[in-house]
A and B are shown apart, each in its own frame.
Chain A
Amino acid sequence: MKTREAMRVLAAHRGDAVAVCALGMASNEWWHATKSEETFYMHGAMGFAASFALGFALMAPDVPVLLLNADGSLCMNLGCLLTEAQQAPNNLKHFLIDNRVYQTVSAVPMVNRDLTDYAGIARAAGISRTLTIDNVADLEKAVPEIMASPGPYFTVLRVEAEPTYLEVAPNDYEGAEMKYRFGRAMERRLGVTIFGPAGY
């Protein structure tokens, strides 16, 4: 299964979920698939897309939140699984792109590649619903159930490492514009005020 195929399936079943993407390949491929502004594309704090998604999900409990994490990012912040398990947000669905390489840096092999069982780590942390999927047909069948299930879900998507992702451009805005585009989208979506009358 290629990352792009997995993203296509997730995008098709996204519904009205807000998405948070780990930096690098996950962000680029999701942007390619959706051009979504109801997504926060992490450009910094590598490893912490899960933490960002958790904070958002906890304070917007009626909004489905899709976390598109990646193995390199998760390994930088494995403790996030403990935090996520304890908080157990009903609306957060954690997907992990597992290609066993640091894709954005010349596909250097991941630490402990081929041995790490991320779903097992998540279960041991206390996230009871986990899956590992390595083909598109199984993913097509599983995603509707994952999205409809109450409670946290952790799904590993085993994909091929591939050099072609480099041809996928990142989203064409960054920095403060990322904050305001996503923030204004959330103001409209949630009916809340994030930026006060003076704009901050």
Chain B
Amino acid sequence: MDAYELIHRELTRIGIKLAATLPDDWVGPLIGRIDSDPAIRHVPVARESEAVVVASGAFFTGAKSVAIIGNTGLLTCTGELATLNLRHQIPVFCIVSMRGTYDDHRIWQEVQGRRTIPLLEAYDFPYHVLDSLDEVGCIPAVYEASRMQKRPYILFLTRRLLKGKAWS
């Protein structure tokens, strides 16, 4: 199984019922799997802030939800995450591509690689980096941690997880 299939399986184990998404090329395949899953209501959105707020609204029905977005998109919605989720202590579980790292050589991701973590730390948004296939089973624990922390919780997916090693 590839990373996308494994992640999808873990989301099913958690009991995720709604996924609000906007793709980049790394999380796109995961979104495609979810779109084909009749057990999960897939909500494609027009901008990433919608995804985190749709998931936040769903929280108040008792449904388990996830926002799946790209790294750049995460940077665009920190204002909403701070003024809604941090302010009201509403947990939101976000699966996000980890771009601009040492092995991601797309030049337009270089700022994202340097500043995303410091930005999350400035807001005190917890995060976990998922870097290998044999750790994908941690996802339910990360989801539970997001509920306990009562704030945005970012699960980063690395290039090595999704595409394998970039060096020989």
Residues of A that sit less than 8 Å from B by CB: 20, 40, 42-48, 51-60, 77, 79-80, 82-83, 86-87, 175-176, 178-179, 182-183, 186-187, 190, 192-194, 196, 200
Contacts and interface: CB of A to CB of B under 8 A. Distances in A.
B35 to A, nearest CB: 12
Nearest to B49: A48
A44 B147 contact: no
B57 A175 contact: no
B140 to A, nearest CB: 14
Contact of A194 (B18, B47, B54, B59): B59
A42 to B, nearest CB: 7
Interface stretch (B24-32, B77-85, B93-101): B77-85
B150 A54 contact: no
A186 B63 CA distance: 12
Contact of A190 (B49, B61, B87): B61
28 contacts: A42-B84, A43-B83, A43-B88, A45-B79, A45-B80, A46-B83, A47-B49, A48-B49, A48-B53, A55-B43, A55-B55, A55-B59, A57-B57, A58-B41, A58-B58, A59-B58, A59-B62, A60-B61, A79-B45, A79-B47, A83-B43, A83-B45, A83-B46, A192-B62, A194-B60, A196-B147, A200-B147, A200-B150
Nearest to B91: A200
Given A176-B89, A194-B59, A45 B46 contact: no
Nearest to A177: B88
- Secondary structure call for the A interface: helix
Contacts of B18: 55, 58-59
A182 to B, nearest CB: 6
Nearest to A57: B57
Contacts of A187: 62
B34 interface: no
B71 interface: no
B17 interface: yes
Nearest to B42: A87
Nearest to B60: A186
Contacts of B84: 42-45, 48, 52
B46 A175 contact: no
A44 B80 contact: yes
A190 B60 CA distance: 10
Contacts of A42: 84
B144 to A, nearest CB: 10
Given A48-B53, A186-B61, A58 B43 contact: yes
A52 B88 CA distance: 13
Nearest to A51: B53
A176 B91 CA distance: 11
